[in-house]
Amino acid sequence: MLRRLYDWVMGLAASRHAPTSLFAVSFAESSFFPVPPDIMLAPMVLARPDRAWRYAALCTLASVLGGIVGYGIGFFFTAGAQQLLAMLGKPTALADAECWYNQWGSWVIIAKGFTPIPFKLVTITSGLLHFSFPIFVAACTATRAGRFFLVAFVVKKFGPTLLPVIERRLALVAGGLILLLVIGLGASHFLGGSSGGACAG
């Protein structure tokens, strides 16, 4: 099923309606669609390097708008959102996210938005937890722009052969952000004399 969706999305990238399709896939991926827009963005940038930044901006805008929909699903449809998370194989996502958000706030969105994990998990749980909406939008914009513009840059400069490498690097960047947060949180607790529990990964 997922492979057929992947092939279908790749076919959209070669169609004359590619920009519209890129917007639609980027929008849907942030709330319910299982295929990331990167697989469309890369061949489109390869075909038209002069439009690399336009495509990255389009991805970012659509992803943030889709993220707002995901946030709304979690905020207004709590029971349905929890069922959706369970269907996605993340039945404990809400409890895990609550711990992470309580400790690190918007940095959870920024760090996880850079990784290849489904972004919908972040957007829906943000709504479920009633996380600050303005901060949510700002964090989504920062992390998705960073991801898509980086992918566009790599493809524009080096071609598609480095895409698997950049995917691994994105995970490393996110891991580095999380490590810095852990260090900062530990320093804060040490200086403030407080303590906190560890969150599940």
pLDDT at residue 192, as a whole number: 41
Query: Residue 100: what pLDDT?
Result: 73
Could you give the CA distance from residue 10 to residue 26 in angstroms, rounded to a whole number? 13
Amino acid making up residue 132: S
Estimate the share of the chain in helix, then strand, then coil, as percent rounded to the nearest 5. Answer: 80, 0, 20
Whole-model pTM: value is 0.72
Q: Which of 20, 19, 22, 27 is nearest to 9 (CA)?
A: 22
How far, in Å, CA of 187 to CA of 46, rounded?
45
What is the pLDDT, as a whole number, of residue 84? 66
Single-letter amino acid, residue 32: F
**What is the 8-class DSSP label of residue 114?**
T
Computed on alpha carbons and rounded to an integer, the radius of gyration of the chain in Å comes to: 17
Full pLDDT tens readout for the chain, 201 residues: 445 655 666 677 667 788 888 899 889 888 777 678 887 888 888 878 888 999 999 999 999 999 999 999 889 988 777 776 666 556 555 666 677 777 777 777 877 776 666 788 888 888 888 889 999 999 999 999 988 998 898 888 877 666 666 556 555 555 554 555 455 444 444 434 444 455 655
* pLDDT reported for residue 190: 43
